[in-house]
Amino acid sequence: VSTQSTWDLTRAARASLREDFLSADAGLTGVNFAIAQTGGVVVCTNEGNADMGASLPKLHIASMGMEKIIPRLEDLSVFTRLLARSATGQAITSYTSHFHQPIEGGEMHIIIVDNKRAEFLANEKYRQALNCIRCGACMNTCPVYRRSGGHSYEYVIPGPIGSTLSAFRDPAKHSSLPFACTLCGSCTNVCPAKIDLDSQLYNHRQDLAEAGYVPKSKMLSMQMMTFLFKHPKLLDFSGYMARKIVPKLPKSLLYSKYNVWGKTRDLPEFPEHSFKELYTKMKKEENDN
């Protein structure tokens, strides 16, 4: 389909996928919340595909992490409001479906996954990450995620919450993710579950360094930056020289094999003056007036 119309794209997807839903032997859904009091599971979507996947095939398999369990039915309304409003600003998702038993003549299986969640729960520094309701608010506000995109994280869950989960689950593979963070704290500010995401990412950095998962080249560069930040005059001079020299360097030198970031992205334009210079000039003009 060669079109940008959401209406046409939706109809094309529906025409292609509808037969798959009708002929499927089994439907696999996730679970947003599971209610201990009733034994039911709740799936929240805006598309309705989960409802079709759970209702049309004879076999419904609902897979969930053990942290999705909430105590009582009366607690559910709090979580559904938090989820929709923090994710998209809606009062509630278009479909909030409750499943308590299989369709007539069918089967329903609920799979409760641990996958290191018990270890998370036992760790005081990181256990709050299990409070996540997957609303995506931390991703929407994260300056790194908004500029790099989800695929750059190379983990099933991107953004700040993905960085802390991945670093705990497989620190050797995902040791770089806690460093893809400005520690601005915006994620912690907007998190409806009040997860201390910026603190967790900072703690991960310390733990990864102690465990030897941080490359020596990165450790050296951070030591050099520490020295630079401790000497403001040297930092100002370095910034001045960079603004003057870097824009004049040939691209073959700027985008060499050592510039990994430059493989898919251009460097931003260098400003003529630093923020410090502009701020000093502004304050001087205010005082003069």
Q: Please name the residue that has the structure tokens 């003056």.
A: 273
Work out the pLDDT band at 2, boundaries 50, 70, 90. Answer: low
Across the beta sheet with 95-99, what order do the strands follow? 69-70, 33-35, 41-45, 95-99
Dihedral in degrees, nearest 10, Cα atoms 175, 155, 158, 123: -60
Q: Is pLDDT at 1 greater than 70 in this prediction? A: no
pLDDT digits (tens, 9 = 90+) for 208-244: 999 999 989 888 998 999 999 999 999 999 999 999 9
What pTM was computed for the model? 0.80
| Residue 260 confidence (pLDDT) | 78
Summarised one tens digit per residue, pLDDT across range 27-61 is 999 999 999 999 999 999 998 889 999 999 999 99
pLDDT over 60 (residue 16) = yes
pLDDT at residue 129 greater than cutoff 60: yes
Q: What is the pLDDT of residue 256?
A: 86
Residue length, the chain?
289
Please name which of 112, 14, 104 lies closest in space to residue 55, comparing C-alpha atoms.
104
The predicted pLDDT at position 62 comes to 97
Cβ neighbours of residue 233 closer than 8 Å, sequence gap 6 or more: none
Question: What is the token pair recorded at 278?
Answer: 């502009």
CA 220 – CA 206 distance, rounded (Å): 15
How far from 262 is each of 97, 153, 229, 265, 271, CA to CA, in Å?
45, 17, 24, 5, 19
Please give the pLDDT value at position 201.
Answer: 97
Q: Check: CB of residue 35 under 8 Å from CB of residue 81.
A: no
Asked whether the predicted pLDDT for residue 174 surpasses 60, the reply is yes
Between the CA of residue 272 and those of 100, 148, 250, what are the distances in Å?
A: 64, 25, 19
Angstrom distance (rounded) from CA 281 to CA 154: 44
Query: Average pLDDT of 134-138?
Result: 96
Give pLDDT tens digits for 74-126.
999 999 999 999 999 999 999 999 999 999 999 999 999 999 999 999 999 99
**Cα–Cα dist 110/191, whole Å:** 28
Lowest mean pLDDT among 129-138, 169-178, 182-191, 216-225: 216-225
pLDDT above 80: residue 261: no
| Chain mean pLDDT for the chain | 92
